[in-house]
Chains A and B, each alone.
Chain A
Amino acid sequence: MQEIPINTYTSPNVILELIYRLKVKDVMTTDLVTATKETKLRQIQYIMREKQVTGLPIVVGKRLIGIVSMDDIIQALDKGYIEETAQEHMTRNLIVLEDDMPISFAISYFDRFSYHRFPVLNRHKELVGMITSRDITSTLLVEINREIEELEKRTCTSSLSQEMSGEIHTYSIMKNDFENAGYASTEIKKRLKSAQIAPHIIRRAAIASYELEMNLVVHSDGGELIAEYSPQTLQITAKDSGPGIPDIEAAMTAGWSTASEWIRSLGFGAGMGLPNVKSVADDFTIESGRNGTTVVCTIELHPNHEEE
């Protein structure tokens, strides 16, 4: 039996994942219009017209006992019992879906049965929604759009970061220059953004470069921040000409700081700088002596690609 109109062995993974990942409950309408078994068919006809639906579930509390469809109403008008109640003429032999079923299941139901809508029950057999083929079409369209966008972005990202490869930017950082502090990191962030690197990677690069930049402003006698781009990595080097870090182990401890009160009043000197850099970097080295300090940190630009 042809369950769904695509081959479930050879179709693209992204599509197959989609139709199995999406559940009936992700697609169904939960804004339900229902009637009780005492409701007159005439009243149901009005509700259908007003709410623009073509079938009304008949319920006792949350329990589904039948459906009155447009076809039932036409029959009622034709045979002259439109003033009678739902329970006398509703369809009782119902095909239902469960809210945890994948939508591939729902698609096959629409193929197999001639109904335009199916009631959806939860595992307590309570009516929780209705599903139409239109619900499926529009959700699928949105999801496919999202997936393709992601794919396109990924393909395009690789070529853009190829283009960026080999670029080296050097920024001079002056001691206590709070006025321009953050300029180098902002430039690095912009460069990665225009190469369409994933936002969470840009954030890591931004944290590392900003902390290193601020360290140069706050603690060094001045230095350089160097950003080197390769297809897979961004390497950030912070180099200064002194005075050096007396105790590197302490400097790497969260909360340890030598910053002055003035620096602290500006919100810096929390003792989080180097630990922050280390935590976001894929690789981190630090060397310090009387003639200066050099920190090198590397950030992988496409970590997900390697896993694939």
Chain B
Amino acid sequence: MVVRDLANIQGFSQQCISDEPFEISDAYTGDLLSDVMGNAPSDSVLITIQAHKNTVAVASLAQIRALVICNNRSIPPDMLQAAKEEEIAIFTTEDTQFEASCKIASALGRFDAGQN
């Protein structure tokens, strides 16, 4: 799927998005940015509660294409600005990271996650 498809997931609200139809093939859930940096796959979506500018920097460096910020946390303006510059999409949701991860696993068709 592409980044834009995340907007169709129930309860996800799009805050910004790039015009580029970046492919999303995997996902990673985590709040520790250096864990994310070291382990998140490229072309992925990051599910996190870290709503600040540094998350965008990590995403950009690790080639994460989209962020899903959970627990209804709000996006500071400098984070939004950075995301637009780095062409990283941001979605917010009231879901917990677990709930958001389940929805994304389903959207990616990754029912096999954790089985290999």
Contacts and interface: CB of A to CB of B under 8 A. Distances in A.
Contacts of B58: 182, 210
A276 B33 CA distance: 12
Interface in B58-94: 58, 60-63
Size category, B interface: 20 to 34
B73 to A, nearest CB: 12
Contact of B37 (A179, A189, A211): A211
A273 to B, nearest CB: 5
Contacts of B32: 267-268, 270, 272
Nearest to B55: A267
A206 B42 CA distance: 12
Contacts of B33: 214, 266-268, 270
Contacts of A207: 37-38, 61-62
Given A203-B63, A267-B32, A272-B35, A210 B57 contact: yes
Contact of A186 (B36, B38, B57): B57
Size category, A interface: 20 to 34
Given A266-B52, A267-B50, A267-B54, A272 B61 contact: no
B34 A276 contact: yes
Contact of A182 (B31, B36, B57): B57
Interface of A: 178-179, 181-182, 185-186, 189, 199-200, 203, 206-207, 210-211, 214, 266-268, 270, 272-273, 275-276, 279-280
4 nearest A-B residue pairs (beta carbon): A182-B57, A270-B32, A206-B61, A267-B33
21 contacts: A179-B53, A181-B57, A182-B58, A182-B61, A199-B63, A203-B42, A207-B61, A210-B57, A266-B54, A267-B31, A267-B32, A267-B33, A267-B52, A267-B55, A268-B34, A272-B34, A272-B35, A272-B37, A275-B38, A276-B38, A279-B38
Interface of B: 31-38, 42, 48, 50, 52-55, 57-58, 60-63
